[in-house]
Structure formats: structure tokens, C-alpha cells
Amino acid sequence: MQYQSFLIKYAEIGTKGKNRYIFEDALMHQIREHLKKVEGEFAVQKEQGRIYVNAKTDYDYDEVVDALCHVFGVTAVCPMMQIEKCGYEELREKVLEFVKSEHPEEEFTFKAKARRADKHYPVTSDTINEDVGYDVLTAYPKAKVDVHDPDFIIYIEIRQKINVFTRVIPGAGGMPIGTNGKAMLLLSGGIDSPVAGYMIGKRGVRIEAVYFHAPPYTSERAKQKVVDLAKQVASYTGAIKLHVINFTDIQLYIYEQCPHDELTIIMRRYMMRIAERLANDNDCIGLITGESIGQVASQTMFSLRTTDEVCELPVYRPVIGFDKQEIVDLAEKIGTFETSILPYEDCCTIFVAKHPVTKPNVNVIRKSERRLAEKIDEMVEKAIAEDEIVWCS
Ligand code: ATP
Ligand code: MG
């Protein structure tokens, strides 16, 4: 069946007091943006603190539900029948018809849950529940009422109009993008950083990204993989402006000049410095990485302190306390995992030392970096000036 309307449920943003409308408007804006990607025309409307999506043309159900479930701020999507207020007998008939079209199976457990926001409606919620229960049991002799754990609930909401639905499809949750500033994600081709971007985006933060590319040591395919990952994250966050920074000269210079066991740390410090510059130039007020304590040598507490030291912006590391498997589970859930495990080389793995320092001393690292004094500033400026921008959506 083609539903005319979807009820959009949202939780957290309902609690923002006087600012509630800002969140609701941002959510409606995001819903409209996501629906632009699917065929069909839709009206997104707010009524009495509820958001509805009404279809104005034909559409593909799976495509629309998928689009709506990618919008941060949406806790559930309920495809529904919406009808004008009508007499009680007519309502009972329509509800039964709807249940029949939704649930062709013969055996199921259910309960009816009516809510009368309009207290003028002449029948109470309890009576509606009883009568709808009776009607369904009569039509389906094998069905049973289960008030504790039914297969589905028949929701009947009496408002300005009457909403009836039995499907509650979980959404992405979180807060609508655009309600919480913008941050710069250091996006590699790995498993962790796309998940990190997703998690911060989920809190309403707009995402911009930077990828450090080291051609010819890293291939075009490795870059394409990062673009693909950015697109996958963008299916939740909206279009991502990806900066591709050519990092080869800087990396080679560090390799020539600095002790090899410090390479990764020094390289990471330059990534953070450049990311911060790009962040400041693009109105981002934080950096995001996919680091997790202890995962590799460059992610011990000592190393993280050493990389943090070079930037002033806060660095958000949403997977900091996650085990690898927990990150993998999330990557699978959001659909980035398969791309992340494609075997293309990463710029960090090429120049990596056999025994990288795990407890870098800030003073020692600073001293090593002095060996770069002659050319490094110029190289950083050049890399930033040659920033290649790829819009990913
Ligand atoms: P990931 O799976 O996200 O690549 P990782 O476990 O491989 O993480 P590292 O390679 O140590 O970890 O990188 C730590 C973080 O630094 C990444 O999560 C990412 O945010 C950033 N980073 C690493 N390499 C790059 C790169 N080439 N371009 C942009 N950011 C990078
Ligand atoms: Mg990596």
C-alpha cells in the first residue's frame, strides 16, 4: 500500500524549552534535504508539536523510509493512515481496513493504543481500545491481545485529524545537523574515522573533512576510497566538503630529518596543525579524529598528549573509549565497514617505523621538529595553498 503520510517522531529535541522551534525547524530542513535525494514530492509540516511528511506524488516506500531514517534527530518513522475526523463507527471500520492492509498474516498478538488529544471527541481512549480490539479479534480468529509484548500496537491518535499506524521504524536518533556548529574531521581510509564523524554529526554538528594524501605512495584508489567513505557519512550528515591535502613532501622531509621511531608522532602533529588551519579558515570550531586509547603506538595517552599539544581547538575523539570490535560494529551499522576494509595503502603505514615510540616526550619531539625548521613552514603553506576540494554527497 502507498501511505499518504509519515509521522516523524523525535525525542531529545522536544526537551529544549523555548529553543524547541529552532530544533524543530532544523529537523524539518534536514528532512527536506534528505527527501530531495528520492523521487517524488513531499510536504513536510509541523502541526501541534508533531512533524508530518505528506506525499504529494507517488514514491518508492523503501527509498523514502531509508532517507528518513538517515536524518539525525528522527527517533522513529511511522507510515500511517491519516483521516479527517469522522463518526465513531466509520472510524472503527477504517481502522480495521487499515490493519487488514498492514497485516495480511493470520496469527499475531497486538494491542490497541488510542490517544485522544482532542478531548471533544465523544468516545474515550479506553472505549476505542476495547472496540478496536474486539473488531480485530472478530476479523482474525487466531489473533490474540497481548498488552505486555505484542507483535504490534495499533496506534490511534485523535488530533485535528486522526492518525492510525502500526509500524514504528527506528530512526538515526541524535540531533538535527546544523544545531551545533561545524567541526573538521580528519578522515583516513580506515575504520575508525568515518565512525567518529558519524558520531559527532549525530549530535547536530555539521561535518567538514580533510584527507592527507601522499601520492605516489598512496594511490588514486586510496583517495577514491576516502571520497566514498565521505559520501557514506554524508548520507547522514548532508554534503561534506572534503579537503585533500598533498602530504608527500612533508612526509618525505620528516622522514629525512627526524628519528624514525618518532615519524608517526611528528607526522600526526603536522596533520593536526594543518587540519586546524583549515578548520579556522572554514568556520570549524573543533577537530575530530578516530583515535581510541591504546589502539596503536600513536594513540597511547602519552602520544595523544603530544599530538594535542600543537593545536588550540578542542579535539573530539568520540571512539576514545571503544574497543576495536565496538567500532567495527558501528561501522557495519552505518554502512562504512565494507569500504574501510578495502586494502589500499594508507600514508601512515608507508612511513611507519618498526618500533615507534609509545611514550613520546614532548620536549624530545619538539627538539626533533627543530630539524625541520629550514623548509617546513613553506611546505605547510604550499600544501594548504594546493588544497583540493571534493564535495561529497
Ligand atoms: P582509522 O581507522 O580512522 O584510519 P587508525 O586506527 O588507522 O584510524 P591512525 O592511522 O593512527 O589510526 O590515525 C588516527 C586518526 O588520525 C584517524 O582516526 C584519523 O582521524 C586521523 N588520520 C590518520 N591518517 C589520516 C589521513 N591520511 N588523513 C586524514 N586523517 C588521518
Ligand atoms: Mg588509519
Number of C-alpha atoms within 13 angstroms, CB side, residue 294?
4
Candidate from 187, 193, 328 with most ligand 1 atoms within 8 A of CB, to mutate: 193
Q: What pLDDT was estimated at residue 12?
A: 65
What's the rounded Cα separation, in Å, for the pair 233 and 188? 13
**pTM metric for this prediction:** 0.92
Give the closest ligand to the alpha carbon of residue 191.
Answer: 1
The residue whose CA has the least distance to atom 25 of ligand 1 is: 188
Give the CA angle between residues 338, 344, 348 to the nearest 5°: 115
Q: What is the pLDDT of residue 13?
A: 59
Q: List the chain pLDDT tens, one digit each, 393 residues.
A: 689 999 999 986 555 677 788 889 999 999 999 999 999 999 999 987 789 999 999 999 999 999 999 999 999 999 999 999 999 999 999 999 999 999 999 999 999 999 998 889 999 999 999 999 999 999 999 999 999 999 999 999 999 899 999 999 999 999 999 888 999 999 999 999 999 999 999 999 999 999 999 999 889 999 999 999 999 999 999 999 999 999 999 999 999 999 999 999 999 999 999 999 999 999 999 999 999 998 877 888 999 999 999 999 999 999 999 999 999 999 999 999 999 999 877 665 666 777 888 888 999 999 999 999 999 999 999 999 999 999 999
List all residues 6 or more positions away from 138 whose beta carbon is below 8 Å from its beta carbon: none
The ligand 1 atom nearest the CA atom of 195: 3
E runs forming strands in the chain: 5-9, 42-47, 50-55, 76-83, 109-116, 144-145, 152-158, 162-165, 169-170, 182-186, 206-213, 240-246, 287-288, 315-316, 388-392
Phi-psi region of 358 (alpha: psi -120 to 50; beta: other; left: phi over 0): alpha
- What top-level class would CATH report for the domain 182-392? alpha beta
Ligand 2 center from residue 300 Cα (angstroms): 15
- The pLDDT assigned to 14 comes to 54
Query: Which of 41, 67, 65, 58 minimizes the C-alpha distance to 2?
Result: 58
CATH code that applies to domain 5-170: 3.30.2130.30
Distance from residue 364's CA to the centre of ligand 1 (Å) = 23
Neighbours of 220 (CB within 10 A): 11
pLDDT tens for 54-89 read: 999 999 999 999 999 999 999 999 999 999 999 999
Nearest CA, atom 6, ligand 1: 192
6 phi/psi in degrees, rounded to 5: -125, 135
| Residue of 184, 187, 188 to mutate, ligand 1, most atoms within 8 A of C-beta | 188
Longest dimension (CA), the chain: 86
**How many alpha carbons lie under 13 Å from residue 130 in its C-beta half-sphere?**
5
Report the separation in Å between the CA atom of 188 and the middle of ligand 2, taken as the mean of its atom positions. 5
From-to residues of CATH 3.30.2130.30 in the chain: 5-170
Q: Which residues, including other chains, have CB under 8 Å from residue 268's CB and lie 6 or more apart? A: 298, 303, 307
Residues 84/161, Cβ–Cβ less than 8 Å: yes
pLDDT at 17: 72
So what's the pLDDT on residue 355?
A: 80
CATH 3.40.50.620 maps onto the chain at 182-392
Question: What spacing in Å lies between the alpha carbon of 336 and ligand 2's midpoint?
Answer: 14
Q: What is the pLDDT of residues 150-167, one digit of tens each?
A: 999 999 999 989 999 999
Ligand 1 nearest-atom number relative to CA 226: 28
Residue 205 cell numbers, joined? 554538528
Residue 243 phi, psi dihedral angles, 5° rounding:
-95, 125
- Give residue 35's pLDDT: 97
Q: Is the peptide bond before 259 cis (omega within 30 degrees of 0)?
A: no
Q: What's the pLDDT at 11?
A: 81
